[in-house]
């Protein structure tokens, strides 16, 4: 359930951690004169929420969000910020991660090493080729590849409003790169040679079903880090980064 709806898991982690720390503070107040400061209690709550979130199977993105959420609120409250700042912060988080609710996909960004290794893979394909990024975020990787392969065509699809807006604006100067406000499940892959995805474990079985039925023979599905259940990749490229990321490549039979 929490892989499908990570927001629910994060809220549950926050609630359980807040309840546990609240009980701890009350018990300590009854047993001794020792008192936790509000910031120390917030840091403990954040660490516990992050641990609960990891136990529930949430991704690293949610780990750091759970860790920092309450301490950040306490620090901001101490700074006497106006109440609208919290509303703006909430709206920004929502706009960045809108698709994590319906599509089960948080915002992941491909690192520099991932881009370079992805380019090495693409150099094997005949030029020109057509490439689609399923969930392109702010399109940093897509734009970098479009400059690297100017004769090929690149398309990114995104439904989180803020990343889409940034991606669309950044792509205006690139004739071989287009951004669509489109659900990845409604994207037709039949016109593309390569589909790239950096999503989450939850949708990968469906992504494979979509790729093997829509990509043309000889097409590639490339996933950053996340595997297709029970379908071994044809090729794996280790990225040797702090996330222990990998590029996994599946070839559509000819």
Question: How many domains does the chain contain in total?
Answer: 2
Q: Which residue has the tokens 């000819």?
A: 254
118/179 same-domain check:
yes
Predicted pLDDT of residue 60: 61
Predicted pLDDT of residue 5: 52
91 within a domain of the structure (yes/no): no
pLDDT along the chain (254 residues), means of 10: 58 81 78 73 81 72 69 61 53 55 60 91 96 92 96 93 88 95 92 94 92 96 94 93 84 92
What CA–CA distance (Å, rounded) separates 227 from 195? 14
Predicted pLDDT of residue 73: 66
| CA-closest candidate to residue 63, choices 17, 114, 24 | 17
- Max CA distance (Å), the chain: 74
193/77 same-domain check:
no
CA dihedral 225→45→39→72, nearest 10 degrees, is 40
94 within a domain of the structure (yes/no): no
| DSSP assigned state of 174 | -
34/121 same-domain check:
no
Query: Domain containing 207: what range?
Result: 112-251
Predicted pLDDT of residue 16: 84
pTM score = 0.65
146/228 same-domain check:
yes
Predicted pLDDT of residue 66: 72
98 within a domain of the structure (yes/no): no
Q: CB 5: neighbour CB atoms within 10 A?
A: 15
135/236 same-domain check:
yes
Predicted pLDDT of residue 143: 95
């Amino acid at each position: 359930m929490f892989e499908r709806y990570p927001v629910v898991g994060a809220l549950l982690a926050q609630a359980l951690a807040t309840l546990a720390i609240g009980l701890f503070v009350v018990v300590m107040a009854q047993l001794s004169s020792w008192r936790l400061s509000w910031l120390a209690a917030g840091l403990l709550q954040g660490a516990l929420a992050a641990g609960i979130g990891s136990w529930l199977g949430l991704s690293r993105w949610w780990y750091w969000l759970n860790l920092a959420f309450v301490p950040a609120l306490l620090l901001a409250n101490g700074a006497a910020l106006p109440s609208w700042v919290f509303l703006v912060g909430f709206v920004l988080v929502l706009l960045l991660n809108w698709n994590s609710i319906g599509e089960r996909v948080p915002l992941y960004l491909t690192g520099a090493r991932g881009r370079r290794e992805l380019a090495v893979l693409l150099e094997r394909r005949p030029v020109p080729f057509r490439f689609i990024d399923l969930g392109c975020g702010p399109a940093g990787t897509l734009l970098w590849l479009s400059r690297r392969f100017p004769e090929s065509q690149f398309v990114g699809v995104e439904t989180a409003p803020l990343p889409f807006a940034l991606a669309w604006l950044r792509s205006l100067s690139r004739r071989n790169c287009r951004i669509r406000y489109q659900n990845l499940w409604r994207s037709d892959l039949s016109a593309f040679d390569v589909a790239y995805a950096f999503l989450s474990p939850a949708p990968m079985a469906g992504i494979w079903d979509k790729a093997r039925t829509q990509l043309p023979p000889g097409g590639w599905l490339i996933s950053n880090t996340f595997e297709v259940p029970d379908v071994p990749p044809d090729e794996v490229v280790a990225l040797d980064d702090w996330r222990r990321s990998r590029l996994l490549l599946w070839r559509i039979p000819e």
